[in-house]
């Protein structure tokens, strides 16, 4: 895949970049290794000062970087601004909390004596150079939620970003440089996916984190495993959105629309499978379909646009294949199910797809098991809570889940039985720096954000003093 900015709203290639050659890649690895040896000795006050500067600069750059993201991957510009603001918030959160999260841990005096020590404690030390392989769908946020905790822990970062967001990737390197981080603390590597293996196997790289597809995760995890290097994997998701009889149906349906089409539907944590109790199925289906049908599809640079184009032509083709297979096998398109017509304004060459709701989904349909990365929702009818939970878990993924109910017993049952890294009641899944983020099953392993996220790339060290 070429390293280039291709506007998904019209298919126009705006700027292309040469991939780094072996000599420049080696120079950057050497620089990162050298930077770690110095940066690891800095204190939390200095790291926080630098990260807060980066947050201030990002706020100043918000309009410009939002336009860049919109141009590179089609995110509606209002969502792009929100993403930039969220990144600045996360930077400030880690700047304020990292020292507390990484404070030495002291076991009880009785346990210290029982261990034969006069003194013992646990210290969190940085691992070193962390390679981040990141996707295009949240091109700032996915990187910052790794970079902010990693840098505050004393690690340094190498970013291999998706090849269709090179300008955003270069902006991130420049942002940390302008904030004052020492040379080599955060570098962007403009390389293709074929170069990842050699970089990951380099002994100067201590660990890796990947957000992306299951095949990409399998590849990076297997290489890292062969090298016995720590990894964090945040992979695909096919999150259930369960609606039970006690729910506020109007609010549940309105929120469902946002939950499905956020980021043009290209989000691992977007709700994708809508599982509705039969008592409220018809009312929910009608309101949800009306909401999806009412969305404005168009130029993502316009403030009035709700849904922009998919990020790539291949992505749209994959989505179309899933929808066509489902319809061919008996599913019904309650709305959408095709490319929009007559957008005008030079958008006819863009990779748009109409917001779609499919009902009548059966297990033999590909869409029942595969992730839909675009504005397509599947609608299921459940006879009771047991069937709703069974449907929710009938997926190889387990990233997050959403449940709408006012019944405390139903809430407890869902917390106990849903196979996911998160259970969100009466709202949509969202990430926040104070809460851990990640999944189970084929959605990956490890956690980002919160104290769990900053601990992932630390050497948890026992310090013991004899009696």
Contact 93, 149 (CB under 8 A): no
Q: Which tokens is 57 given?
A: 């600069």
Active site residue 234: yes
Q: Walk across the sheet containing 205-211 and list its strands.
A: 186-188, 156-160, 129-133, 205-211, 230-234, 444-445
Between CA 149 and CA 147 the distance in angstroms is: 6
In Å, what is the CA distance from 279 to each residue of 101, 249, 283, 412? Answer: 46, 11, 9, 21
Between CA 343 and CA 110 the distance in angstroms is: 72
The total number of residues written for the chain in this structure: 467
Helix (H) or strand (E) holding 287: helix 281-293
262: left (phi over 0), alpha (psi -120 to 50) or beta: beta
Exactly one of 234, 371, 410, 456 is catalytic; name it. Answer: 234
Active site residue 335: no
Burial of 463 (0-12, 13-18, 19+ CB in 10 A): exposed
Report the 10 Å Cβ neighbour count for 344.
Answer: 9
444: left (phi over 0), alpha (psi -120 to 50) or beta: left
Q: Are strands 230-234 and 205-211 parallel, antiparallel or unpaired?
A: parallel
Q: Which tokens is 298 given?
A: 């168009």
Between CA 338 and CA 335 the distance in angstroms is: 9
Between CA 160 and CA 131 the distance in angstroms is: 7
Exactly one of 268, 335, 414, 458 is catalytic; name it. Answer: 268
Q: Which residue has the tokens 């319809």?
A: 327
Burial of 207 (0-12, 13-18, 19+ CB in 10 A): buried
Sign of torsion, CA 169 428 456 50?
positive
Between CA 27 and CA 21 the distance in angstroms is: 10
Contact 266, 137 (CB under 8 A): yes
> Residue 171's closest CA among 205, 137, 144, 132?
144
Indicate which residues carry an active-site annotation: 234, 268
């Amino acid at each position: 895949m070429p390293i280039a900015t291709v506007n998904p709203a019209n298919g126009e290639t705006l700027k292309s970049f040469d991939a780094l050659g072996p000599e420049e890649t080696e120079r950057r690895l050497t620089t990162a290794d050298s930077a770690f040896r110095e940066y690891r000795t800095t204190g939390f006050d200095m790291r926080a000062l630098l990260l807060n500067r980066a947050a201030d600069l990002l706020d100043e750059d918000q309009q410009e970087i939002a336009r860049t993201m919109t141009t590179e991957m089609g995110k509606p510009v209002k969502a792009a601004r929100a993403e930039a603001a969220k990144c600045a918030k996360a930077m400030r959160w880690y700047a304020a909390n990292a020292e507390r999260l990484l404070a030495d841990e002291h076991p009880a005096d009785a346990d210290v004596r029982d261990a034969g020590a006069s003194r013992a404690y646990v210290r969190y030390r940085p691992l070193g150079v962390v390679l981040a392989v990141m996707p295009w769908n949240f091109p700032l946020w996915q990187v910052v939620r790794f970079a902010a905790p990693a840098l505050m822990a004393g690690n340094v970062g190498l970013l291999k970003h998706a090849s269709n967001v090179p300008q955003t990737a270069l902006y991130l390197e420049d942002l940390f440089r302008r904030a004052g981080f020492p040379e080599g603390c955060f570098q962007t590597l403009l390389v293709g996916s074929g170069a990842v293996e050699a970089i990951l196997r380099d002994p100067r790289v201590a660990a890796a984190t990947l957000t992306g597809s299951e095949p990409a995760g399998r590849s990076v995890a297997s290489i890292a495993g062969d090298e016995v290097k720590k990894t964090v994997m945040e992979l695909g998701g096919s999150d259930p959105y369960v609606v039970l009889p006690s729910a506020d149906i109007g609010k549940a349906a309105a929120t469902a629309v946002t939950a499905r089409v956020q980021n043009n539907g290209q989000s691992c944590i977007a709700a994708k499978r809508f599982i509705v109790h039969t008592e409220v199925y018809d009312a929910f289906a009608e309101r949800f379909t009306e909401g999806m049908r009412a969305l404005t599809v168009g130029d993502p640079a316009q403030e009035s646009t709700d849904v922009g184009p998919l990020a790539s032509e291949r992505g749209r083709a994959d989505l179309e294949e899933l929808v066509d297979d489902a319809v061919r096998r008996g599913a019904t398109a309650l709305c959408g199910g095709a490319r929009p017509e007559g957008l005008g304004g030079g958008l006819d060459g863009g990779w748009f797809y109409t917001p779609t709701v499919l009902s009548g989904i059966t297990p033999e349909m590909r869409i029942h098991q595969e992730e839909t990365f675009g504005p397509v929702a599947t609608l299921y009818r459940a006879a009771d809570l047991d069937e709703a939970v069974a449907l929710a878990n009938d997926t190889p993924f387990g990233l997050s889940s959403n449940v709408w109910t006012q019944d405390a017993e139903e809430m407890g049952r869902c917390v106990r039985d849903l196979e996911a890294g998160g259970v969100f009641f009466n709202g949509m899944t969202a990430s926040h720096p104070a809460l851990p983020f990640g999944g189970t099953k084929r959605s990956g392993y490890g956690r980002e954000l919160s104290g769990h996220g900053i601990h992932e790339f630390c050497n948890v060290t026992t310090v013991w003093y004899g009696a």
